[in-house]
Amino acid sequence: MNTQNEKSESETAAQTADSADDEAVKAETEDRKAEEAEAAIDAADADGGTLADADAEADAAENESPWAQDPAARIAELEEEIASVKDQFLRFMAEAENVRKRSERHLAEAHKYGVANFARAILTVADDLSRALSAVPEDQRQGEGLFQTLLGGVEAVERELVKVLDAHNIERIDPAGEPFDPNFHEAMFEVPDSDFPSGTVVQVIQPGYRLHDRLLRPARVGVAKGDGEAAKSHFDTTV
């Protein structure tokens, strides 16, 4: 009997201890929830303050905006900026157009005068052929034989060279009997007591050449030296 009473008392004590533990856990859980609730409230208060500050700053910035202070002045300022940008754009467009025109002009000149250096180099060949033909006496040009055949070949080469020069707009300047022109002629000497008026080309030592309107080489000439009246009568002064 005593043994049963002791067992009952032990079970009752164990149940009491379990109940106490459950109460402690519940209390701890409630304390934790209370702390979390307080933290959430504090965070909400902080966010509310930050949003309020942001709204205040936005209102201040809007009040300080040039549009809010003086809209007409702001519009005039923007119109001035637009006019300045437009002016710069037009200047850039004009400069681009000038560059394009210069490029086209340079390209056209390159096509037109691109053979100038080669033409100057080939002129010596034309001079040599002309000198070779001029050195042959007239009495030896006629007849038949190896010499006449060779002479005919040289003449054919000269004619072909003249055709090539003409095809590339390279014009020969042979101003015998014409007025002296310092733009295309180079006076090497004067010829006194000539039948020609003063300032007339009497003799051509070396013919000149020009490519289109550009001089490749001036003609080397001898110019008549006479009285002034003869020179005046030779030149046409009418306009």
> Which band of pLDDT confidence, cut at 50, 70 and 90, is reported for residue 218?
very high
**Residue pLDDT, tens place only, 19-51:** 555 566 566 666 666 666 666 555 555 554 555
Residue linked to tokens 């390279």: 170
For 13-80, the DSSP string reads HHHHHHHHHHHHHHHHHHHHHHHHHHHHHHHHHHHHHHHHHHHHHHHHHHHHSHHHH-HHHHHHHHHH
* Residue 211 pLDDT exceeds 70: yes
pLDDT, position 179: 93
Secondary structure percentages of the chain, helix, strand, coil, to 5: 65, 15, 20
pLDDT, position 233: 39
- Count CB neighbours of 216 within 10 A: 19
pLDDT, position 120: 87
pLDDT, position 139: 77
* Residue 131 pLDDT exceeds 80: yes
Q: If we measure between CA atoms, which residue out of 213, 191, 195 comes closest to residue 204?
A: 191
% pLDDT > 90, the chain: 28
Q: CA neighbours within 13 Å on the CB side: how many for 71?
A: 2
Q: What is the mean pLDDT of the chain?
A: 77
Distance of CA 142 to the CA centre of its chain: 63
pLDDT, position 154: 87
Rounded to an integer, the average pLDDT of 112-130 is 86
pLDDT, position 231: 40
| pTM beyond 0.95, yes or no | no
Q: How far is CA 131 from CA 4, 18, 126, 152, in A?
A: 158, 140, 9, 15
- Count CB neighbours of 88 within 10 A: 10
Distance of CA 225 to the CA centre of its chain: 54
Among 119-123, 127-131, 193-197, name the one with the lowest average pLDDT: 193-197
- Report yes or no: 208 and 215 within 8 Å, Cβ to Cβ: yes
> Which band of pLDDT confidence, cut at 50, 70 and 90, is reported for residue 53?
low
pLDDT, position 229: 45
pLDDT, position 97: 93
**Residue pLDDT, tens place only, 220-230:** 999 998 754 44
**Residue pLDDT, tens place only, 60-96:** 555 566 666 677 887 888 889 999 999 999 999 999 9
Rg (CA), the chain: 56
Query: Which of 18-27, 127-136, 138-147 holds the top average pLDDT?
Result: 127-136
- Report yes or no: 221 and 185 within 8 Å, Cβ to Cβ: yes
Among 12-16, 93-97, 196-200, name the one with the lowest average pLDDT: 12-16
Query: Which is it for the CA torsion 209, 210, 216, 217, positive or negative?
Result: positive
Please report which helix (H) or strand (E) contains residue 171, including its range.
strand 170-173
**Residue pLDDT, tens place only, 149-172:** 888 888 899 899 989 888 888 999
